[in-house]
Structure 1
């Protein structure tokens, strides 16, 4: 037997052995595909939740904030108020970027959201100017003057 026949037999043996082992790249590809689908589904679910929250913040005019009856509720209200300010700033940024429909509150005849009323009153009590309150609350100067003049009563 020559060297060439030994090499040929060794090559055939290696091919047969490689066929017996499972291909792990197919398993990795399936795992990556499953992960990709899961991420896509979670992203869509998050987008739906954000859209629902934006609609609640912009559409719900009858929402009223209750007065706290204890110190713990007051701290919770302050935390909620600060998170509302962050969300309002994000919505305003999204509106200025053109990703959300712009609403012109000065031409709107809808009542002003209770959260915005309490925000305006809180900012006014902190001594901020009408211009600063307008920037933070997305309301017009006339609406802010009206809220301050009425003391939050609509």
Structure 2
């Protein structure tokens, strides 16, 4: 009978103490939330500034001369195999382009380079 009474009294004391210490953890949670919100706002402001700077830098850029046109990146062999497989299954060029994340002309170029289309 002694042990249950001791456990009950310890439980009551811990419940009472939790009311006092629970408030300090809420303050900490509130401070963390405020810091998180301010960090998010600062990040958004930096993104806006970066966009503005990028736009300013792009104002002076003219069209690329024909001699310096960027070459198209080669299509990875896995994507080429995917394109060939989709074409063999009967998918249209726009569907293949959508599934492989390429343009229609890139899909046509791949199919022509592999001899599927003439």
The TM-score bracket by the shorter chain reads 0.3 to 0.5
Q: Which has the higher contact order (CA 8 A, sep 6+)?
A: 1
Structure number with the higher helix fraction is 2
| TM-score, normalised with respect to structure 2 | 0.42
| TM-score, normalised with respect to structure 1 | 0.34
